[in-house]
Amino acid sequence: SLSEKLQNVFKNLRGKGRLSEADVATALKEVKMALLEADVNFKVVKNFIKSVQERAVGQDVMSSLTPGQMVIKIVNEEMVNLMGSETTEISFKPGNEITVIMMCGLQGAGKTTTTAKLAGKFKSKGKKPLLAACDIYRPAAIEQLQINGDKQGVPVFTMGDKHKPVNIAKAAIEHAAKNNYNVVILDTAGRLHIDEDMMNELIEIKENVNVHQAILVVDSMTGQDAVNVAEMFNNKIGIDGVILTKLDGDTRGGAALSIRAVTGKPILYVGMGEKLSDLEQFYPDRMASRILGMGDILTLIDKAQIDFDEDKARQLEKKIKKAEFDFNDFLEQMQQIKKMGGIGDILKMMPGGMGGGLKDTEIDENALSGVEAIIYSMTKAERANPDIINPSRKKRIAKGAGVDISEVNKLVKQFEQMKKMMKQFSGMMGGKGAKRGKF
Ligand code: GDP
Ligand code: MG
């Protein structure tokens, strides 16, 4: 019945006091799956789930959220924290001092592409970047950098492939100083796997050149391998930040969470495609919702927070306790739901399971707007005091709403039942304190 359906919606839209261990366990099972599927390191997942569990159990549920949504809200916040909360900018040397940035990473990670992408970003910030071709091994590496540099309108310093990378780096910095460049980006050589030669080469550059930022480029598609790579580079060379490439693929980006957790180094940018404009600032909150993959549930949570007026909720709670809940309140509740995008949209936002059975409940939006029309046809007095709605009033209301009188009868009857149920429900919940459930 309609009242049952509405009951379900309200029940699932609202919190219920405090999160129990069972609430948290149920929601976290889904979160754990989502994280593992997103290729987050197993150990990281384990620790993460444990700390969320500790934080979540016993927490007050916001009045407009279900327990499951409340857990997800906490998980999301913790993930954002884990990834550094805020966007980290690449730091530059003050004044006209030359900032030297060394790009490193495995072969194919996207170093050369990202070098050119970064140069474009720096240029638009008013910097004067110079690229240095330090990959002397990969055939056509120099040419690739030159082509990309050209596209960005940024010059490339090269000495061919007969000099040691460290010497190319040194010469590039000298050239930059003489020609008023203030950023030098070193495009170094990668290897297919972690390899002593590669590491030594990078260490040699770092020891002989004043590298201000060592930036590791990792391919997000390699998932957990990306994390191992990041850990090794950080231990051997010491990195200042990470750029995660190829996030435009179908990867869920779990590497982002693990890298930060394992190395403690911030993610600076993310590569979102092969085009040189496809480099985006890293936003921990966006990444968190991507990794969680909880559809738009986070948007729903945001909306719920904004839209639900705690004061109104408390007033309503009082009314229901005193059995003063009337058609005006009923209408207001329906409008709250509409503000949140309508029941249909809310249902769509619920990923499997998290809606707590809501998904199986088919709610007819048309039936709801019919209900609304009936209520709008009531006078103020009738809405505030449904008891006065006698047969002649019902007839008038039906005519006004353009429905059969039986529809009005049904609604009035269902409303009475619903009121009774809500009263019982509010008794069960206790409903003390500002953050408690509405009914
Ligand atoms: P390097 O060996 O580390 O210098 O890697 P490259 O810069 O040569 O990139 C290897 C391949 O990855 C190239 O085909 C790039 O176009 C591609 N690539 C780099 N970054 C991205 C990205 O963010 N998204 C996608 N789809 N491809 C990328
Ligand atoms: Mg390269």
Task: For residue range 235-268, list pLDDT tens digits in order.
Answer: 999 999 999 999 998 777 888 888 988 899 999 9
pLDDT of residue 430: 45
Residue pLDDT, tens place only, 7-26 = 555 555 566 678 888 888 88
Report the percentage of the chain scoring pLDDT > 70.
77
pLDDT of residue 146: 97
Residue pLDDT, tens place only, 399-438 = 988 889 999 998 888 888 777 766 665 555 444 333 333 3
Band of pLDDT at residue 171, cut at 50, 70 and 90: very high
Among the bound ligands, the one closest to the CA of 279 = 1
Residue 435 maps to a domain: yes
Structural domain of 361? 1-16+308-439
Look at the block and give the residue holding tokens 């857990």.
Answer: 71
Same-domain pairing of 348 and 396: yes
Of 266, 296, 326, which residue is a domain's last? 296
Closest Cα to atom 13, ligand 1: which residue? 110
Report the percentage of the chain scoring pLDDT > 90.
41
Same-domain pairing of 425 and 350: yes
Q: Give yes or no for residue 111 CB within 6 A of ligand 1.
A: yes
Residue 303 maps to a domain: no
**Computed from CA positions of residues 123, 129, 132, 135, in that sequence, does the dihedral angle turn out positive or negative?**
negative
- Ligand 1 atom closest to the CA of 113, numbered from 1: 7
Q: What is the pTM of this model?
A: 0.68
- Ligand 1 atom closest to the CA of 109, numbered from 1: 3
Reduced to 3 states, what is the DSSP secondary structure of residue 241? strand
Residue pLDDT, tens place only, 335-368 = 666 655 555 554 454 444 333 444 334 455 566 6
- Ligand 1 atom closest to the CA of 272, numbered from 1: 23
Residue 175 maps to a domain: yes
How many independent structural domains does the chain possess? Answer: 3
Residues within the annotated binding site?
105-112, 187-191, 245-248
Q: Which residue has the higher pLDDT, 419 or 273?
A: 273
Same-domain pairing of 10 and 125: no
Q: How many CB atoms lie within 10 A of CB 194?
A: 13
Model confidence at 183: pLDDT above 80: yes
Strands (E) located in 234-362: 241-245, 267-271, 279-281
- Ligand 1 atom closest to the CA of 187, numbered from 1: 4
Same-domain pairing of 145 and 275: yes
ipTM surpassing 0.85: yes
Residues within the annotated binding site for GTP?
105-112, 187-191, 245-248
CATH number of the domain residue 328 falls in: 1.10.260.30
Residue 405 maps to a domain: yes
The best mutation among 137, 188, 245 to test binding of ligand 1, ranked by most ligand atoms within 8 Å of the C-beta, falls on 245
Residue 378 maps to a domain: yes
pLDDT of residue 314: 65
Q: What is the whole-number distance in angstroms between the Cα of residue 142 and the centre of ligand 2?
A: 8
Q: Give yes or no for residue 4 CB within 6 A of ligand 1.
A: no
Residue pLDDT, tens place only, 368-389 = 677 888 988 998 889 888 889 9
Of 296, 320, 349, which residue is a domain's last? 296
CATH number of the domain residue 239 falls in: 3.40.50.300
The stretch 113-127 carries a mean pLDDT of 96
Same-domain pairing of 77 and 135: no
pLDDT of residue 252: 75
Task: Describe the crossing of helices 405-429 and 391-401 by its angle, rounded to 10 degrees.
Answer: 100
Residue 5 maps to a domain: yes
How far out from the chain centre does Cα 272 lie?
16
Same-domain pairing of 72 and 144: no
Which residues, by Cβ under 5 Å, contact ligand 2, an ion?
111-112
Q: Give yes or no for residue 105 CB within 6 A of ligand 1.
A: yes
Q: Give yes or no for residue 436 CB within 6 A of ligand 1.
A: no
CATH number of the domain residue 50 falls in: 1.20.120
Are 63 and 438 contacting, i.e. CB atoms less than 8 angstroms apart? yes
Residue 111 maps to a domain: yes
The stretch 220-245 carries a mean pLDDT of 93
Model confidence at 124: pLDDT above 80: yes
Same-domain pairing of 182 and 271: yes
Amino acid at 160: G
pLDDT of residue 298: 62
Are 124 and 178 contacting, i.e. CB atoms less than 8 angstroms apart? no
Same-domain pairing of 120 and 245: yes
Residue 302 maps to a domain: no
pLDDT of residue 352: 40
pLDDT of residue 431: 41
Among the bound ligands, the one closest to the CA of 141 = 2
Same-domain pairing of 265 and 131: yes
Same-domain pairing of 119 and 241: yes
Same-domain pairing of 251 and 173: yes
Of 235, 267, 296, which residue is a domain's last? 296
The stretch 71-77 carries a mean pLDDT of 87
Same-domain pairing of 81 and 103: no
